[in-house]
A and B are shown apart, each in its own frame.
Chain A
Amino acid sequence: MKANCWYGSTDVRVEEVADPHIINPRDAIVRITSSAICGSDLHLYDGYIPTMQQGDILGHEFMGEVMEVGPGVKNLKVGDRVVVPFPIACGACFFCKRNLWSLCENSNPNAVLAEKLWGRAPCGIFGYSHLVGGYAGGQAEYARVPFADVGPIKIEDGLSDEQVLFLSDILPTGYMAAENCRIQPGDTVAVWGCGPVGQFSIVSAKLLGAERVIAIDRFEERLRMARERAGADLTLNYSTTDINEVLDDLTGGRGPDACIDAVGMEAHLPGVWGLYDRAKKAMRLESDRGGALRQAIQACRNGGVVSVPGVYGGLIDSMPMGAFVNKALTLVSGQTHVHRYLRPLLERIQKGELDPSFIVTHRLALDEAPQAYEIFKHKQQECVKVVLKPGERTAGRSTLGDGGNGAGSARGNGNDGATERGVGSVGADAGTTRH
């Protein structure tokens, strides 16, 4: 099969690899129909996450069709359409039983390594370094899904891939980030970062009753999406605005009740702090750039909550511990306990309360993964979210006129249409939906 493999910093390649097979009794094999590139994949792409090995298959946001199940999987059958949660959880250990699925004690075969770095090991995760097990990921035609009797959720017909795909990670991640804010009626929530997780944090904060959600980013198209699609009440561009000043002004000098850091370890900051982090990072004095987190802690109101769905891998420098203590803040984070949110969020999607597909700006074939990473990393073509379609032939510019194939695919299913790709169509998409 084809798979998108990691080969080093900004080096991913689509390689021909062996097909996966059932290894353990509770495994299933899934033929992948849609697989997204996550913002956290960019941390791998940029070489920020240690213990990646050349040849590792990337991808942890995927869905598809069950092709085979192990003898221990009774709840799935061949042909079922499933979304696969990114954390791998056994369902039987101390943490799984306490609904803390991403802390599963039994799914990380490389726990020793993670314990060296973090003291304790989290669960196994698809395609996200050997610290979390080294599992082959889902940016491939097929994937082996361990503990398939626990994780994957069946999807009935009637919902498109893109409506349910993000149940695998970023929708629950945004939702958990908002839930962790313990939002009270009347609350103001500020969200740093309007990437996909930021967008879903905004949506979720509104769903959970926040009176006002303030979105912060530097890309106008993302701020526009936050306003127009996610429901942010207000957007701030930090490259042109003094965030603290405006937040002060908006909250009577008190600060937001909750702050969400949906940026993580590769924060870009203007000014002195930005330079500080870049220098520290260059000298290897810190592994993660903590600019957004610092700003969130600084801005948050006394007694407020700082919720961190953004990914950090190692150490940040100049953690404002004084602010944290003296302002009596609560800091909440964690890899998302996706299993906990699958059913309730699917129900919201089924009821039409939520349509996560709005974040998708790019649809590309699996073969185009290396370009897709470049586009996503540099936010070219106003990219917010890329969905790879492993079932399809390369349908980039070169193959568009490729006889009946491309056209057939486009005709057969508009969702996957090759003709929908590219800057023009994305613009059109945004245009039509806005009005």
Chain B
Amino acid sequence: MANTDGHSWDERRRQQSGERSAEQRSTNSDAVRLARALGWFSIGLGVAEIAASRGLGTLVGIQRPWTVRALGLRELAAGAAILTRPREPAFLWSRVAGDAMDLALLGAAFGARDAHRLRLTAALGSVGAVTAVDVLASRRLSAAVMGQHAAPVEISLSVGIDRSADELYRFWRDMTNLPRFMSSVREVRPLDGLPPEQARRWHWTATAPAGLLQWESEIIEERPAELISWRSRSGTPLASEGTVHFSAALNGAGTLVRLRTRYTGASGAATATVARLLRQLPRQQMKAELRRFKQLIETGEIATIDGQPAGPRSPMVRWFQRVIPATRKTPAPDDAGLGLHPRAGTGTGTGTGTGSASRWQKPSIPAGGAGAERSISTEGAQS
């Protein structure tokens, strides 16, 4: 079953990565070129420091040739590393660390009795200028490489659900159902004015750490009771695509649902952040979402403890629950997709009970302990 769509999937992937790498190259090349130049600069300086340690030392005002030679070795190592892996930001950042060391040495040399202040000042100035260039170059390279790593993210997960492929297909084909179990998706609505079970273009609204995230997608392939494939439309900030397959399950009962998604991120600072988050979260989140899908289909509800009482929590636990999404068990607050969540209160902990407390008559204590239903007692026998 997995291969029925393999063709189109791979094809799309090639297409997409082709587009992206072209775009990436252009943003990348400047940073890499600068890194190479700085690599050669390191080599040159290193050779000079070793070969002419005395002369160079005198020039900058440091009268310790062995120190200068050691610095030369460091420069050679840094240069060699940068030239062999010009796309590795760590190597370029090592130059910044080297600059800091040089500045510290020059600063310390000011304290010596025979310090040549003019020469030291001139040296400090030039090392400072080089440091500025190094920092700039390292940051650019880091940013370029980060964007490269942020995409693509590809996840494939499956879950067995005790329902027919057709039923599951129809549930998923109406994408307005998705927010009922996808915790971060707030709304999916059709864009082309067709009824949900026929609509092909969709508008998504999701909550992200930075606020609301919106994009559009279109269904690019559908085979009843077998698969649905969609991808984000060009021009939307989040480039993503997904396929859900339905096939005969293990143990001969129910359906194996396989969800594959692929996020390619996009350009732009805000979406780069989103993409980075997506890189860390999605597998676990998608797993949780598939599980909620299963719960919703098999039991009609999603297991949760949100809203149940607890003793006073420590501030740390409260912080943890707010910040770490995995500890939040329910989807979006309006997850009452079935219209079945008659929530009396929201939130957890104390203070939510006032509304619900009045709903049943609390028996007054201690009379409640002697309910009529327990008229026969084990203890009666022994007295």
The answer on A and B forming one complex is yes
Interface residues of A (CB under 8 A from B): 1, 3, 5-7, 13, 15-26, 29, 31, 33, 53-57, 65, 67-68, 70-72, 81, 88, 90-94, 97, 105-113, 124, 133-136, 140, 144, 146-147, 157-163, 355, 357, 360, 389, 391-393, 405-406, 408-409, 412-417, 420, 428-429, 432-433
Assuming A24-B304, A92-B162, A391-B369, is B340 touching A5 (CB within 8 A)?
no
A18, A88, A406: most-surrounded residue (chain B CB, <10 A): A18
Question: How far, in whole Å, are A6 and B314 apart by their CA atoms in the complex?
Answer: 12
Residues of A within 8 A of B376 (CB): 157-160, 415
Assuming A90-B299, A133-B303, A134-B305, is B313 touching A54 (CB within 8 A)?
yes
Which of A112, A144, A157, A433 is close to B308, meaning CB atoms less than 8 Å apart? A144
Which of B305, B326, B355, B378 is close to A136, meaning CB atoms less than 8 Å apart? B305
Main secondary structure of the interface of B (DSSP, over half): loop
Give chain B nearest CB distance to A405 CB in angstroms. Answer: 5
* CB pair A161 B374 closer than 8 Å: yes
Give chain B nearest CB distance to A196 CB in angstroms. Answer: 16
Question: How far, in whole Å, are A109 and B288 apart by their CA atoms in the complex?
Answer: 9
Which of B349, B353, B377 is close to A415, meaning CB atoms less than 8 Å apart? B377
Asked if B383 lies at the interface with its beta carbon under 8 angstroms from chain A, I say yes
Q: How many A-B contacts if CB must be within 8 Å?
A: 222
Assuming A5-B311, A25-B338, is B378 touching A160 (CB within 8 A)?
yes
* CB pair A65 B373 closer than 8 Å: yes
Residues of B within 8 A of A23 (CB): 304, 306-308, 341, 343
* CB pair A55 B312 closer than 8 Å: yes
Which of A56, A105, A134, A146 is close to B311, meaning CB atoms less than 8 Å apart? A56
- Give the top 9 A-B pairs by smallest Cβ distance, nearest first: A18-B353, A5-B311, A415-B377, A391-B369, A55-B311, A412-B370, A392-B369, A21-B356, A15-B311
* CB pair A19 B356 closer than 8 Å: yes
In the complex, which residue of chain B has the Cβ closest to the Cβ of A26? B301
Q: Which of B131-139, B147-155, B208-216, B358-366 contacts A (4 or more CB under 8 A)?
A: B358-366
Q: Which of B21-29, B102-110, B189-197, B290-298 contacts A (4 or more CB under 8 A)?
A: B290-298
* CB pair A54 B317 closer than 8 Å: yes
Give chain A nearest CB distance to B288 CB in angstroms. Answer: 6
Which of B288, B309, B359 is close to A57, meaning CB atoms less than 8 Å apart? B309
Assuming A19-B353, A134-B305, A144-B308, is B341 touching A29 (CB within 8 A)?
no
* CB pair B299 A413 closer than 8 Å: no
* CB pair A433 B299 closer than 8 Å: no
* CB pair B309 A136 closer than 8 Å: yes
Asked if B276 lies at the interface with its beta carbon under 8 angstroms from chain A, I say no
In the complex, which residue of chain B has the Cβ closest to the Cβ of A107? B303
Question: How far, in whole Å, are A400 and B369 apart by their CA atoms in the complex?
Answer: 16
Residues of A within 8 A of B333 (CB): none
Question: How far, in whole Å, are A6 and B311 apart by their CA atoms in the complex?
Answer: 8
Question: How far, in whole Å, are A354 and B322 apart by their CA atoms in the complex?
Answer: 49
* CB pair B301 A24 closer than 8 Å: yes
Question: How far, in whole Å, are A22 and B253 apart by their CA atoms in the complex?
Answer: 32
* CB pair B379 A136 closer than 8 Å: no
Asked if B268 lies at the interface with its beta carbon under 8 angstroms from chain A, I say no
Asked if B300 lies at the interface with its beta carbon under 8 angstroms from chain A, I say yes
Question: How far, in whole Å, are A147 and B378 apart by their CA atoms in the complex?
Answer: 31
Interface residues of B (CB under 8 A from A): 160, 162, 251, 253-254, 284, 287-288, 291, 294-295, 298-314, 317, 326, 329-330, 338, 340-345, 349-353, 355-357, 359-360, 363, 365-366, 368-371, 373-380, 382-383
Give chain B nearest CB distance to A76 CB in angstroms. Answer: 14
Question: How far, in whole Å, are A105 and B356 apart by their CA atoms in the complex?
Answer: 30
Give chain A nearest CB distance to B315 CB in angstroms. Answer: 10
In the complex, which residue of chain A has the Cβ closest to the Cβ of B314? A54
Assuming A159-B376, A416-B370, is B340 touching A18 (CB within 8 A)?
no
Residues of B within 8 A of A432 (CB): 382
Residues of B within 8 A of A161 (CB): 374
Residues of B within 8 A of A15 (CB): 311-312
Q: List 12 additional contacts besides A24-B303, A56-B311; criterion CB under 8 Å.
A: A1-B309, A18-B352, A54-B317, A55-B314, A55-B317, A70-B342, A105-B291, A111-B288, A112-B287, A360-B378, A412-B370, A415-B377
* CB pair A18 B309 closer than 8 Å: yes
Residues of B within 8 A of A17 (CB): 309-311, 349-350, 353
Residues of A within 8 A of B291 (CB): 105, 111
* CB pair A57 B306 closer than 8 Å: no
Assuming A18-B353, A23-B343, is B363 touching A391 (CB within 8 A)?
yes
* CB pair A417 B359 closer than 8 Å: no
* CB pair A391 B302 closer than 8 Å: no
Residues of B within 8 A of A157 (CB): 373, 375-376
* CB pair B374 A72 closer than 8 Å: no
In the complex, which residue of chain B has the Cβ closest to the Cβ of A393? B366
Residues of A within 8 A of B313 (CB): 53-55
* CB pair B342 A22 closer than 8 Å: yes
Give chain A nearest CB distance to B286 CB in angstroms. Answer: 11
Residues of A within 8 A of B300 (CB): 25-26, 72
Question: How far, in whole Å, are A109 and B303 apart by their CA atoms in the complex?
Answer: 5
Residues of B within 8 A of A111 (CB): 288, 291
In the complex, which residue of chain B has the Cβ closest to the Cβ of A91? B299
* CB pair A13 B374 closer than 8 Å: no
* CB pair B311 A7 closer than 8 Å: yes
Residues of B within 8 A of A408 (CB): 366, 370
Which of A33, A105, A124, A409 is close to B294, meaning CB atoms less than 8 Å apart? A105
Which of B310, B311, B330, B340 is close to A72, meaning CB atoms less than 8 Å apart? B340
Query: Can you name 15 A-B residue pairings with CB atoms under 8 Å?
Result: A18-B350, A18-B356, A21-B359, A23-B308, A53-B313, A67-B360, A92-B298, A105-B291, A110-B329, A157-B375, A160-B376, A160-B377, A355-B378, A416-B377, A417-B379
Residues of B within 8 A of A146 (CB): 303
Give chain A nearest CB distance to B38 CB in angstroms. Answer: 43
Which of B284, B353, B357, B379 is close to A420, meaning CB atoms less than 8 Å apart? B379
Which of B253, B373, B382 is close to A81, meaning CB atoms less than 8 Å apart? B373
Residues of A within 8 A of B343 (CB): 21, 23
